[in-house]
Copies of this chain bind each other. A is one copy, B any other.
Amino acid sequence: MNYVHEMQRLQDACRKNGPLCIGLDTDPTYIPQNILNSFSHPSLAVLAYNKALIDETKAYAGCYKVQIAYYEAMGLEGLKTYVETLAYLKKLNIPFISDIKRGDIADTARAYACAHFSGDFEADIITVNPYMGFDTLEPFLDWCKPANENTKPLNTTKLPKGFFVLLRTSNPGMVDIEKQALAKGGIVLDHVGEKLLAIEKEMKALYTEKIQELKIDFCSPVGAVVGCTEESDARQLRDKYPNIFFLIPGYGAQGGAARIAATLLDKAGGAVNSSRGILMAWKKDTELSEKIQTNSLTMEDIVLSAKKAAQQSKEELLEAKASL
A contact residues vs B (CB 8 Å cutoff) = 25, 27, 67, 69-70, 72-76, 79-80, 83, 101-109, 111-112, 114-116, 119-121, 129-136, 166, 169-178, 180-184, 188, 191-192, 195, 276
Contacting pair B129 A172 (CB below 8 A): no
Contacting pair A166 B132 (CB below 8 A): yes
One of B116, B120, B169, B181 near A133 (C-beta < 8 A): B169
Contacting pair A130 B27 (CB below 8 A): no
Contacting pair B195 A72 (CB below 8 A): no
| Given known A67-B108, A107-B27, A171-B106, contact A178–B72 (CB-CB < 8 A) | no
Q: List 15 A-B contacts (CB under 8 A).
A: A25-B108, A70-B108, A72-B115, A72-B116, A74-B115, A75-B115, A101-B104, A107-B276, A129-B131, A131-B166, A132-B166, A132-B173, A133-B174, A134-B173, A135-B173
Q: Which of A114, A166, A176, A188 has the most CB of B within 10 A?
A: A176
Contacting pair B103 A177 (CB below 8 A): no
Contacting pair A83 B73 (CB below 8 A): no
Contacting pair B133 A131 (CB below 8 A): no
Contacting pair A102 B181 (CB below 8 A): no
